[in-house]
Amino acid sequence: MGVVDLNVLVLNLDYQPLNVCNVRRAVVLLDKQKAVVIEQNGHIVTSERRSIVTPSVIRLAYHIKRPRPVLKMTRKEVLVRDDHTCQYCAKRGHDLTLDHVIPRHRGGQHIWENVVAACKGCNHKKGGRTLQESHMTLARQPFRPPSTPSYLFSSYIRAGERKWFKFLGVEDSAAAS
């Protein structure tokens, strides 16, 4: 991965996190004066005419009005919420399946509060039965994840983008754990 592919946090005019782009896109926004640099990451990108210290955080020069982000319930998001851990036996892995705590054929819905990550063995063992019938317990009750910046950008927080912490409402001590 080259320097131009590094991640840059994009903030709205009011310093609210909007999204993440790469350095290449950030430099274009800066060049067109649509954004200003807030934090730099120390790398240098050189072109034929100039050298630029690459940004880590940029702020748009205008306000973007957008609806509040809502997390869609996808397999990927359920696995992230459950930290890639089977909620029945605590086995970690990336080959997990989704399980409905109350089976759909028994009236269970396909909602955040009824879907958990499960390894293939536990999912097969539980089958189409309830927790009581299968004599299994959940490690943690399923929940709808919050749509906060610290949750939405948690993968970048785990990757160690320390300069982003103050803009995402994360403390250094919380990010270390």
CATH number reported for the structural domain that contains residue 80 in this entry: 1.10.30.50
Amino acid (one-letter) located at 91: K
Q: Is pLDDT at 134 greater than 80 in this prediction? A: yes
3-state helix, strand, coil in the chain (%, to 5): 30, 25, 45
Range of the domain at 121: 75-134
Residues present in the chain in total: 177
Question: In this structure, what token pair is assigned to residue 60?
Answer: 């748009």
Residue 35 covered by a domain: yes
Q: How many domains does the chain have?
A: 2
pLDDT score at 103? 95
Q: Is pLDDT at 176 greater than 50 in this prediction? A: no
Q: Is pLDDT at 174 greater than 60 in this prediction? A: no
Across all residues in the chain, what is the average pLDDT?
88
pLDDT score at 3? 80
Give CA–CA dist 142/121, Å, rounded.
19
Cβ–Cβ contacts within 10 Å for residue 107, how many?
A: 7
Q: What is the pTM of this model?
A: 0.69
pLDDT score at 173? 47
Closest listed residue to residue 122, CA positions, set 140, 104, 141, 135: 135
